Structure 1
């Protein structure tokens, strides 16, 4: 994978003060039926801020990866809205979204943020990482070692999702 990202970015974990920027980036990256609401992000940030990795350039939020930790091996729709399902000691790191400002896409910023998120899951001793994506992104996540497990049971946003898993 070629990483064109310049080295002038900072990746850090989120705080509640990032809420407005997070909600704005999500709304920019996903259709309304698929985007998480500001209130949903607020609940997530209150429960598991350490599982939001944010990439900034000159103070501007460019890319983010977020999700909860669970013992449940498959990503389920209720996880998106019920922050109480987060289990800090869980075996699996879920990814709910990989968002990158469209003006900064295809420059390696999502890749850098995703690598940091995956590395954190490894460091914490998880079994692996699970995400769902549309068919057009299967090849992208395969580059990171994710394996396509087929069509997910998710009906989130009335879209066909594929579950992908990276086992450590």
Structure 2
């Protein structure tokens, strides 16, 4: 299995990332192309792309906040984002469905966590579906609570990792 490489997202990655996002997420939970472009433009340091043999196959995007409110829908547009804040909020962890089930998400998440640790961040927050709670717990995230968010008409669970 070839080794993936990682880099910061570029504006030219937006359409490929959007294609992966809509292929991997259900219904209305996928970010729009406009949101993905905004996230790349406003916080490229928090938008990690994974490539395999020169092709983008996954990504993680995030923003930072001084106080985290996971159910804040405006934050998905990076309203209130401050790159210098110590708390990271992950908005998407996505692998192209053609490459899922091979451990790439775990490798990507470990790389992202290490980059955020080196950047001096204190915590990483995320919301996930119930079926992913154990996966994130194995990676060091701690369950916080069921989220009041109903993003995309789904039930979510809040988790956090202290760095």
TM-score normalized by the length of structure 1: 0.91
Q: Is residue 103 of structure 2 the alignment partner of residue 105 of structure 1?
A: no
Give the count of matched residue pairs.
162
Deviation at 1:162? 0.3
Structure 1 segments of 4+ aligned residues over 3 angstroms from their partners: none
CA contact (8 A) 1:62 1:109 kept: no
RMSD: 1.2
- 1:3 is aligned to none
Aligned-partner SS, 1:154: coil
For residues 8-54 of structure 1, the C-alpha deviation after alignment (integer angstroms, 9 at most, x for no partner) is 32111101010110110001011231000001111111111111111
Aligned 1:86-125 pairs, distance under 5 A: 86-125=81-120
Q: Is residue 53 of structure 2 the alignment partner of residue 79 of structure 1?
A: no
TM-score normalized by the length of structure 2: 0.94
Aligned 1:25-44 pairs, distance under 5 A: 25-44=20-39
Whole-angstrom CA distance in 1 between matches of 2:107 and 2:73: 26
Which of 29, 42, 46 is matched with 1:47 structurally?
Answer: 42
CA contact (8 A) 1:52 1:64 kept: yes
Whole-angstrom CA distance in 1 between matches of 2:119 and 2:2: 26
**Structure 2: tracts of 5 or more residues without a match:** none
CA contact (8 A) 2:49 2:56 kept: yes
